[in-house]
Each structure stands twice: as structure tokens, then as C-alpha cells.
Structure 1
Amino acid sequence: MIDGTFSDIWQAVARAEPDRLAMATPSGHRFTYGRFAREARGLAAHFSACGLRPGDRVGIVLYNRPEFLTTLFACLALGLTPVPMNFRYRSIELAALLMDSKPRALVYAASLRNLVAEATGIARGDIHLVEVTDVWTPRAHATPWAEAIAAGGALPDRAPADGEMWIYTGGTTGQPKAVRWRVVDMFRSKLFSIYDMNGLAQPASLDEAVATALQYDHAQLVNLPLAPFMHGTAMSLAINALAVGGAVLVTSSLRFDADAAVRLALQDRATQIVVAGDAVAMPFADAAERMGVTLPLVRAIVSSGMRFSTATKRRLHRLGDLTIQDIIASSEGGGFAVTVTTGVDDLPGRARLYPDAVVLDENGRPVDDRVGARGMLARSGTIPIGYFRDEEKTAAAFPVIEGVRYVMPGDWVVVEDDRHVEFLGRGSAVINSGGEKVYPDEVEEALLAHPAVRDAVVVGVPDERFGEIVAAAVVLGETDSATGDDLAAWVGGRLAAYKKPRAVVFRTGIARGVTGKIDLARLRAELMDELNERAATSP
């Protein structure tokens, strides 16, 4: 079993090839691996001088900037626990995370100063503040980033074996929970995605991992994350790229600018683009088509954990000779299965289990070799410690079955041949209508196949007769038209009758968070209000 982790490889690459490109920004700033390591050493020395010790938490409230990855580097090497936090939260929401995780330090962007000031005021913790300058007014009682990294210093030769990284999840279905990963386990769990999915042999030791990174032409993997780093997929793919000596293009913008993203991909020769399903991929495709450009150097577009429709994938495939990797994943377990398409002719594609993933039925028995069986995705081995301070939810998501500890986030699938599966949806979103289970994803996919439908989200709403009925929020194209009956008939022609939406609410848009996720509880409440109003005013 490999005995190192990300920061060990980054240090080794920095020592051997300090001039190799690690990061670049649209404004032309270039960060070599030498600079990357030097700034991480300075920040680590600053944290140590402030009294931080291994195991202490460091909150990160940054959009995609080089300082985000540098903070990760410093924390992982020292054994501090980095805790990325949602920069789009309101102050009360951010304060809740601060009170839960109790960070000793917080690295944040100056443009988010008011948010941080209000949140830290509510949380009332003794938090050392490091402010990254993206506006020019210095804040009192915070250490400027340039000062924090200026002292220099050294990093331990090897990262502590028990170092952790926390990723908050669960914000669409309840209170966010911190998933605790041992960093060494996170690295081991990603060996397939780091190496196999990039056409490389998995290393058996840290020395082999370093040798692979040094031998790999960094220009072969130039990663452009268009989802925020606080989204596990974008952060994972960025640190994976750096683990093989690649480069990361950092957008350095508080808001997603699709036109700028296309220009950056072309300007800095991106070979891998990370999106958050349709929420990012659709405007990116819009921009490329509007600009009349293709993506000749892009070899892969990657997404995970988000709705990624066939229609959007078709548009992306037409932009270049590229592969699309649509991963079924979670913060709790990483990747479980991936749908790979290499062109329009491969669509819609079929999801195939990762080598270490299994399907367990309701009794905990493996059924991934039984075609037609229904069960939940699971993994064992290198998985997280669990949720921070939530033993009940940890026990539910990380069950021990016949002496084996699994992670099971709740994704239901039907087993197909040759380790392929059909994804049905996350268990918490399943609609129980008259005793029949309806999985929103398949209804959404059917709606999106309608030529007039631009976007759609399906939820269950209460019903006296059926317990729940299928309801859909639908966005039509600007010049398109369709009625609720039209769409119900369309879905009924493709799926069982009980899966047809019994209520359709038309909207001009569907709000998604910065990670691409939808607040399903809020959307369900809004649909219920509108349907109740309809019922009250109907004859």
C-alpha cells in the first residue's frame, strides 16, 4: 500500500523541477512548483508561529484562487486539517460551520470580508484571520496574505500519517455535516482516478508516485476547474492533476463567467475541464457556440454528483475530439461508477462500477453480479472516518456488514451486465407514489429529451390519495411552448404511467447553488405553495 500523500509528491516535484508550471491565472500570473512550495512553506511557518499544531482546523473561505491550493498544501504537509467552506453562504450559515468545526485559523478573500466579520462575530471563537487581497483596503486584526507567506521556513519531509481533510456535505437535504477523511486514505481512494483514468500505471510506493509525476509531461494534463474548489469534484481533480505533475488553471473570479472560461481554456491550452453537470456545462457550451470556437486540445470533460443531461453532453462532444466522464460520486465515498462517452455515437452511455465498488441489496448482500438486481452503491477499504460529531448518521452511512465497514451514501442502481449499472437516484429524493418508487433522475431525463424543455427538476409533493405525487419545475426555451399535459404525455410515452408528472410548474429559471446543487426542500415548498394556490382558485 502506497505510504505517502499529495503534499509529499508536490514537495518532491518542487525540489526536482522547481520551474515546472503548477498554476496559472487569466491575468497571466504563473506559479511554478517552486513558488507553490515556497509560499506553502511560508504559510506553514506563519501558522506554526501562531500556535497551530497538527490536528487543528483551518477554515478556507475562498473562491477559486491559487491561495486556496497553497493553503491546502501548507495544511496537509503540517498535519493541520483544511476545512473548505461555502463562500456563498449567509453569515448565519457560515457561523454555524465555524461553531461546528472550531477552526484555529481562517483564510478568506478580502471581498468576503463583511461575510467573515459577521460570521466570526456570531461564532465568537478565537480565530486567527489571514486575508487574501482581492480588493485593496486592508482589514485591521487580520494578517495580509503577503505577510503570512513572507517568513519562509521548512515543511516536514513527510506529511503526518494521521492528517485529516474535512468536506462539508448535506446542505440540500439537512444541516451540513463534515465528512472526516484521513488524507492518506483520500489519496489511496483516488489512485484509480489519478492514474488509471489518465492512462498511467498505479504506483506501489511514494517513490514510484514521484517518479511518475516527474516523467509525465505536465502539458498532457492541464486542468481547468469551472466548479468551485469547495465542491469536492473540482478540488479533487485539481489536486489529482498536481499529483502527476500537471498544471491547474485557476479562474480567480468570484462569479462564473462562461465566456472568460472558454477564453482561458483556449489561451492556456486546457486538456481537462471540470464542470458541475448542466449547471456549469450548459452556459459553457452556450459561450463556446456563441463565440464560434471549438476545443481542439481538450481531451476530457469531467463531472460528478450532478445532473448531466444527454443533450448537454451532445453539445460538448461537438466542440472537439474529447471524452466525457460523468461520475457517480459523493463527499462520503469518492467515485463509485462512471459513464464514459467518447463521442456523440456513444450517447447516452452506461455507468460502469469502479473496481472497488459493489452493489448491496436491502439485506446487505452483494448483488453486483446479478443482472436485474436492485441495490445501493457501496465501497469498503480506504473510506472516511465518518461524520464529525454525528455518531448516528455515521452509523447509517458507514455500516458494518458481516465484519466489513462500508460507505453507502444512498445511491440506488439496477445491476446490468459487465459491472454496468443504471443509476436510479439518491434514496433521500426517491418519491413513493401509491406504493411505487419513482426516481426523479429518470423523469428529469425524459423531460429534458423534450425539444421545448431547457431545464427541469422533479420532486415529490404530498398527496392525500397517493402519499406523494410527481411534481416538476420546468423551464422552456425562450421561443418554445408546451403545456403540462403535453409534458406528462411525453414522459408517459417513455416511462411507466405512474412516473408521469401529475403537476407541472413552469418557471423562467431554476436557482442552483454555486456547486450546482439545488435546495430541494425549498423548491418542494415553493411548488407546494403554487399548487395549493392553484387548487384554491380553480373552479
Structure 2
Amino acid sequence: MGMHFNLADLFEAVADKVPEREALVCGDRRSSFADLDAGANQMAHYLAAQGVKAGDHVGLYMYNCSEYLEAMLACFKIRAVPINVNYRYVKDELLYIFDNADMVACIHHREFIPAIAEVRDAAKKLKIFVSVADETNEDLSLIGAVDYHNASESQSKARDFAERADEDYFILYTGGTTGMPKGVMWPHKNVFFAAMGGGGHFSPLGACEKPEDIRERVMENPLRGIALAPLMHGASWWYACIQLLAGNTLVLNHNRSFDGDKVWQIVADEKVHAVQIVGDAMAIPLLDSLAANPDRWDLSNVFNVGSGGAIFSEAKQDAFKKFFPNVFITNAFGSSEGGQMGMDNGSKKTASGLGNVSRTDYMDVIVEEEGKAPRHAEMGETGIFARAGYIPMGYYNDPVKTAKTFLEVDGKRWLLTGDAAKLEDDGSITVFGRGSNCINSGGEKIFPEEVEVALKAHEGIFDALVVGVADDRWGSRVSAVIQARKGIKLDLNNVQEHCRKHIAGYKVPREIHLIEELPRAPSGKPDYKTAKAFAESGKGAVA
């Protein structure tokens, strides 16, 4: 059988080259590459024995654990399609994804049995339940589940699977700032090159040209990297695959909640080299923990702090450099639909925007004008950040959203990410943020993310969201919903003076509203709808 740019094929090649090397650390459990491969083979055989076949959808409804990656690899091995289920979802969201995703099996932590029992009738094809043990004692018989390890332990560890293909796919459900989650359909080859650097992140040889090249990309001296976000999020899962396919050691945050002290203890204990976060939402508690505990941990092995999937403000990057003077900061631009669309060291070419990436034949700005065909931007124009080449097939069970997001321009298929961007005169692309959240104030376009970055550089502000509220004169005015640090009193004038040092005057918030905790969706993304309603209500207003 031939080898393909299939994630199972690629992982097996790495496992064969460094079978005894430590692949995965999660809490008390440690797995070598051979261990992880064998466990995935056993679960793959179990699923196949239950009738799961190529193209069938298997839900993964778990916290971070070794079984999560084992189960995902098991799906890949038999060409099944893993589906990430957000463990923060409540009934309506679970009903939607169980129905929309057409799952035939679900591998889940035991505590989720009652939640599954409530919604299982919405998934007509769902018949197989495999339960991963936890500290709860929920009744397996309620949904007819079998224990994960009982199911797999009697199965063969052999690799006697059918040949796979580049086009085998998986579905990444992404929860946006509005609406129900969307299932992004990624072919293996496309996501390998779009989100994982084609296996070349750590090698001077660069991206693989053929699947067999992955063996030569395995480093002699492996790095130890920790993924701090839940594996159910694309940014964390992609990072996990990047590490494993490089032959590195992946460390997972096994704690159910995000606690800065516990994270740094893991980093110290495991002698982690690279810390991968998801923007300021993780940076803030990590930095606070370092500030409150000087010299508590030996973190001398850390040389990289990287972020992807959310805003990583310059203020927070600078703060990390104070604690780690020699740290290498990486800030990746991307999305569930776009993969990794660029990475920089946090330095920006222009004063505006969130960052810059290079324009290429496969990275551009697309302009949509009413009544006209979409086109490529001219120098100096603003449009939508777009990608071609290695992109998804579309959204599962949603042809309408697929048609709006994937467009043909000059004979080439392009993905519109939804992020507003400008094609600069030097040919680079400045990314601003979600165009749908753009505030039009007196004809000036203001992107909330840019104002939020300025606000979060204020030492008294823990976190902030920026929205537009109706204004009789300007149409909309900039309003900031702020979560202040404990014991800090903020006033409008002070916040405005601070912001004027970072952004143009017309972007400065005209009002601020203090809130005890910023609203976020179950996906962890900012809930702008709730923040806007809070601002419009006048609650928490500070003069």
C-alpha cells in the first residue's frame, strides 16, 4: 500500500522511527509513540467491529486526556471522521450538533452521560457509546455505553487497516460569535499543509514534498511543548498534531479549569520548552500568576511562548518578555476555516490593525461589492482576508453558508475568512479583525479588536470588549465593556487618555461600562451580542 498525506499514515511513520520516545504526557499518564499507536489501533479495531466504517462520523466529547488523541487517531486509521463536541455546550447546542453531525458513535467522558441521554434522540444514527472513566459514577446503562478500556483491551494492536487517502477528511465544529456551530470539512492533506506547516515547522528542510519525507522531519533532539487549550478547539488540536508529527513530546493541561499556578507547575515539572496559548484570555491569568509568585518555579527551559486563534496583544507579549527576557514570541493568524494564515514575532509593520502577513498567490484580500463579481483588492483597498489552495471542502450539511464563504474569483476557489484586511502599498496584508463587528462612526470604520488591544495595555484593565451603540449624531459610537482588575477604580477620562497613546482619537471609546465578568460563548469566544446589550442598557456606566 502507498503512503499518503493522511494524518494516520504520517503519525505511523513517525511512531515507527521513534517508537520508544515519549509522545504524550497528560497528568499521571505517559505514553511513548509506540504506546499511543498501539492504543489507537485497539480502539480502531473496536470501532470497526461495531460497524463503524470509512466516512462514518464519531463524536469526541471529552476533556483533555490521552484517550482523546488515541480516539482521534483511531478514527483516522479506519478512515472514519472524528467530530469535536464542545463540553461547555448546553442542551440546545448539543441538540444541534448531535443532529447536524450525523454521528454513529460517541466517545465521551462518563460525566456527560446525562447530557447525552437528553439529546440522543436527535441523532437517529447514533448507536455506539464508549465511556472514558472519570471521577463520576454515572450509569453506563442509561445510554448503553461501554467502558473505553474494557472495549479496547481485548482488541488487536496490529495495523491491518485498509489503504487511506489524501482526501479522507475530518470535521472541525467551530462556534462563532453568533449562531450555532458550523462543521468545517477538512481533507487530511489540506489541513496538514494549511494548519501544520506541512511538517516543516521545526526542520530546516521545510515542508514535506512527499509523505515519506515526514520521517526526515523528525528532530534528533525533541522539544517539549504544552497545549493549554482544550483539544476540542482547532488551535490546540493542530498544535498537538504539529508536535506529534515532528516526533516531539506533547504535554497536555489535564486540569478541568484554567489555573495559572497549576499551568506553571506543569511547565516546571515537565521541563517544557514551548508554551502554546490562545490569546490574551490565557495570557492574562498566566502573567498574573508569574507576578504573584516570583521565583516560585524553575522555568528556565521555556524559550517560546506562542499564540494562535485569538488576539495576543503587544502589551501581553511585552509582559512575557519581562519574565522571560530571551523568549521567542510567536503570534499566528488563522481560523478554523483558514488554518494558519501567517505568523510573526508580534512586531507590526503599521500602527493600525492586529498584525501583518505577506500577500501571495494563495493569500490575498478579496473585495465584494453589491451587484458585482468579487475581485482581488487593489493597493490600499480594504476587503476580506482570503485564502486559496489548501482550504476546506465547505461546511457540513450547510450549502448556504458554504456558498457565502467559498467563492470563485478569476477561476480560483477562495475562502473568505470574515476578517477585514487591507492590502498595503508594499504588498503586505494588514489584518483588522471580524468585519461583521466593524463600527461605523461618522463614516470612519473602527475595528473592535484594535481598540481592545489598546484597552488591555492599561494596567488596571483585566479584559475588555468593544461594541458600537446607536448615536444620533455619528450613527454609532464606540463603547467599551470592561472587566477591571480587583481593587482598581477606572474613570472615563483616564481610560481615554491611555487609549490616545495607542490609537487614533476617533477610535477612542466614548463611554465605558464596568462588568464583573466579560461574557463569552461556550466556545470561549467573545460574546459581542451580550456585551452590546449590556452597553445599550446603560449598566455599569462610568463617567
Q: TM-score, normalised by structure 1?
A: 0.90
1:158: how far off?
4.2
Answer yes or no: is 1:192 the counterpart of 2:200.
Answer: no
1:148 pairs with 151, 163, 167, which one?
Answer: 151
Alpha-carbon distance in 2 for matches of 1:212, 1:404? 31
Q: Residue in 1 aligned with 2:431?
A: 423
Q: Which residue of 1 aligns with 2:307?
A: 303
State the SS of the aligned residue for 2:284: helix
Q: Is the deviation greater in 294-303 or in 87-96?
A: 294-303
Q: Secondary structure at the match of 2:46?
A: helix
CA distance in 1, matches of 2:291, 2:376: 45
What SS does the aligned partner of 1:449 have? coil
Shift of 1:77: 1.7
Contact 1:336/1:377 (CA < 8 Å) preserved in 2?
no
Q: Tell me, in whole angstroms, the C-alpha distance in 2 between the residues paired with 1:504 and 1:414.
A: 29
Secondary structure at the aligned position of 1:482 is classed as coil
Match of 1:250 among 235, 239, 252: 252
Length, aligned pairs only? 526
The counterpart of 1:527, out of the listed 520, 527, 535, is 535
Displacement, 1:219? 2.4
Cα deviation for residue 92 of structure 1 reads 2.4
CA distance in 2 between counterparts of 1:163 and 1:115 reads 30
The DSSP-based 3-state class of the residue aligned with 1:399 is strand
In the alignment, what sits opposite 2:391?
383
| Structure 1 residues 308 and 43: CA distance shift in structure 2, 3 A | same
**Displacement of 1:494:** 4.6
> Which amino acid in the other structure matches residue 95 of structure 1?
L
Alpha-carbon separation, structure 1, partners of 2:65 and 2:291 = 27
Counterpart for residue 178 of structure 1: 183
Task: Say whether residues 1:504 and 2:504 are aligned partners.
Answer: no
CA distance in 2, matches of 1:387, 1:474: 34
**2:290 alignment partner, SS class:** helix
SS in 2 for 1:450: coil
The letter for the 1-side match of 2:263 is A
CA distance in 1: counterparts of 2:364 and 2:61, whole angstroms: 35
Distance 1:390 1:365, change over 3 A: same
Residues 1:453 and 1:16: Cα distance change in structure 2 (over 3 Å): closer
- What corresponds to 1:357 in structure 2? 363
Distance of 1:3 and 1:471 partners within structure 2: 51
1:449 to partner: Cα distance: 2.9
Q: Which residue is equivalent to 1:484?
A: 492
SS for the counterpart of 1:424 is strand
What is the correspondence of 1:92-491 to structure 2 with a 5 Å cutoff? 92-121=92-121, 123=123, 125-135=125-135, 137=137, 139-140=140-141, 141-150=144-153, 151-152=155-156, 153-156=158-161, 158-190=163-195, 192=197, 194-196=199-201, 199-213=204-218, 216-217=219-220, 219-220=222-223, 222-292=224-294, 293=297, 295-320=299-324, 321-341=326-346, 350-353=355-358, 356-362=362-368, 364-367=374-377, 370=379, 372-416=380-424, 420-491=428-499
Rounded Cα–Cα distance in structure 1 between residues aligned with 2:456 and 2:258: 24
Shift of 1:192: 2.9
Deviations 1:403-455 (A, max 9, x none): 11001112112334665433221111111223321111121122223343222
**8 Å CA contact retained: 2:385, 2:431:** no
Q: In the alignment, is the contact (CA less than 8 A) between 1:338 and 1:353 conserved in 2?
A: no
1:38, CA displacement in angstroms? Answer: 0.8
In the TM superposition, residue 236 of structure 1 has moved relative to its aligned partner by 0.3
Tell which deviates more after alignment, 77-86 or 296-305. Answer: 296-305
TM-score by length of 2: 0.89
Residue 303 of structure 1: CA displacement?
A: 1.6
Match of 2:27 in 1: 26
Q: Which amino acid aligns with 2:103?
A: P
- 1:204-261: per-residue Cα shift (whole Å, max 9, x none)? 1111112322xx13522x2211111111111001011111111111222222222121
- Structure 1 position 11 matched with structure 2 position 12: yes
SS in 2 for 1:43: helix
CA distance in 1, matches of 2:186, 2:473: 44
C-alpha contact (below 8 Å) 1:77/1:158 kept by paired residues: no
Tell me if the contact between 2:6 and 2:164 (Cα under 8 Å) persists in the aligned partners: yes
Unmatched tracts of structure 2, length 5 or more:
348-352
**Deviation readout 1:70-124 (Å, 9 max, x if unpaired):** 1111111211111101101112211210000020000111122322222325556
CA spacing shift, 1:349–1:463, aligned 2, 3 Å: closer
Sequence identity of aligned pairs in percent?
28
Q: Report the CA distance between 1:23 and its aligned residue.
A: 0.3
User: Which residue matches 2:350?
Assistant: none
Cα contact 1:13–1:245 (8 A) shared by 2: yes
| Aligned equivalent of 1:81 | 81
In the superposition, relative to structure 1, how do residues 244 and 354 fare at CA in structure 2: closer, same or farther (>3 Å)?
farther
* CA gap 1:349/1:504 in 2 versus in 1, 3 angstroms: closer
Q: Answer yes or no: is the 8 Å Cα contact 2:440–2:446 preserved in 1.
A: yes
Tell me the distance in 2 between the aligned counterparts of 1:517 and 1:295.
Answer: 29
Measured in 2, the distance between the counterparts of 1:200 and 1:335 equals 19
**Does structure 1 conserve the Cα–Cα contact (< 8 Å) formed by 2:391 and 2:415?**
yes
Aligned to 1:345: none
Note the C-alpha offset of 1:68: 0.9
